[in-house]
Amino acid sequence: MRQNRLQSENQALADERKQEIDKLTQNLKQERNASEDARLKLTQKLNKTELLIQRANSLESGVIELKNDLKQSDDIKNQTGKELAVVEAKFQAEKEKSGGLEDQLNQKETDFAQEKVSFTDLLKTKAVQSFEGVLRSLRRVYDGVAKWHVRGTAVAP
């Protein structure tokens, strides 16, 4: 009996230890699973962090490129502004020059119109004088013919 009792106690202790071992094994499995889950989550977060770092670096490079493009655009804008100022100055000078030429042209047109009027008047005067000369000559011829006719002479003047 004693041996049965010892055996039963041993069996009870063995069962108790087996239950403790099973419980510890189960706890270890749960901790291992929890640790594996935590490791997977940490790996995922590290991957996400790495992707975010890469994206941030890419964006930073893009910002630097945009800043360089903006600087180049500003330089081009400034250069274009200077060139525009030169062109505007040249245009203004040409405009003033052409304004002077236009005034000269208007003056020449006025002078030409006056000369044309004067020349026309001179031509009219000369034509009238010439016509008057022709009329005087015709008058003399007519007077001569009339005298000749009145006198009855045979020779015409």
Is 137 exposed, middle or buried (CB count within 10 Å of its CB: 0-12, 13-18, 19+)? Answer: exposed
Sign of CA dihedral 50, 52, 55, 59: negative
83: its two tokens: 């060139």
How far is the C-alpha of 71 from the C-alpha of 68, rounded, in Å? 5
Q: pLDDT: is 152 or 138 the higher one?
A: 138
pLDDT band for position 153 (cuts 50, 70, 90) = low
Please compute the mean of the pLDDT values over residues 120-125 and round it to a whole number.
Answer: 84
Is residue 91 predicted with pLDDT exceeding 60? yes
Q: What pLDDT score was predicted for residue 150?
A: 72
Query: Average pLDDT of the chain?
Result: 86
44: its two tokens: 């995922």
Which H, E and C letters describe 35-63, residue by residue? HHHHHHHHHHHHHHHHHHHHHHHHHHHHH
Q: In the chain, how long is the greatest CA-to-CA distance?
A: 211
Using one digit for the tens of pLDDT, what is the confidence trace for 9-63? Answer: 888 888 899 999 999 999 999 999 999 999 999 999 999 999 999 999 999 999 9
Classify residue 1 by its DSSP letter.
-
